[in-house]
Structure 1
Amino acid sequence: MSYANFQEMLEIYLTENPKTGYITFQVYHDSPIYGIQPVTNAKVTVSKLIGDEYYVSKVLTTDIDGKTDPLPLPTVSGKLSTTPGNPKIYSEYNACIEAPNFFSKDVFDISVFENITSMQSINLLPNTMENTNANNKRDQQSLCGMW
């Protein structure tokens, strides 16, 4: 597939998704000793498959509170929800969340609605394995292994 084909598919996607919705991520670790602790500087990669081969992605980083800024994303019109039988009233995106000393986590099918900011709370599990090189190998099916 050529770049021109990708550009055409992207333009079609943007035409079909002319409105804007938002995602904010809250990344934390639920420690049995310290309770809920924000994960600072976690890398959040939000992606969308365009066609069969191309991903469009945006990388965010969490702040000291474990939160990202709201990410604006293309979505369908909210007016579709008033049309009987319309099954698609939102757009879907995927995300990969990574942080040092934690296992990465994939989140699929995040719904984005027009003019709504969705909060995605992500609990990362610590990677306490001694052999971090062997245990940090990325699963071939993981979104995190794609970038």
Structure 2
Amino acid sequence: MRYLLASLALLWATSASATSVAPRLLEQIVADADYVVVANIERVDMIDRRGRAVTDPEARTGPGGTNEIRFHLKVKEALFARSGAVPPTLVVPLWKMWHFTLGDMQEQASKEDSIFLLKGDRFEPAYPADFQRPMEEKARIKKLLAPRR
């Protein structure tokens, strides 16, 4: 698949026990973002509650679990930064409530450039869903960011 979002949507739709969040408009997610970057996912990893690497491809995240899946991004361009410079690489922790396995996320992660809408000191997703956007939305996102500059 071209974008991780399409894969995630398929995974969410097919999992009977999947956690879900209400849809949000792009305008709302951009408004909540502290950082908007063009980047690609260099790798996906998982850590346990103590920060130790988890390598089992069947290891899961989800309600009640303590594992965290993370995207390691290589930043190509910062479209917006609320404060300070954006580091050249970012580690983005995904929402722990999603029902995912490490192996599935590693297989589905696209190496293509995308736009990531992030917030806070940990560069978390600005919203648990739809924080990774296709490059085709760059002009629209820049237009939404214009009043914030």
Confirm or deny a common fold (TM above 0.5). no
Q: Give the alignment's TM-score, normalised by structure 1.
A: 0.28
Q: Which has the higher contact order (CA 8 A, sep 6+)?
A: 2
Specify which structure has the higher proportion of helix.
2
Q: Computing the radius of gyration over CA atoms, which structure comes out larger, 1 or 2? A: 1
Taking structure 2 as the reference length, what is the TM-score of the superposition? 0.27
Structure (1/2) with the larger strand percentage: 1
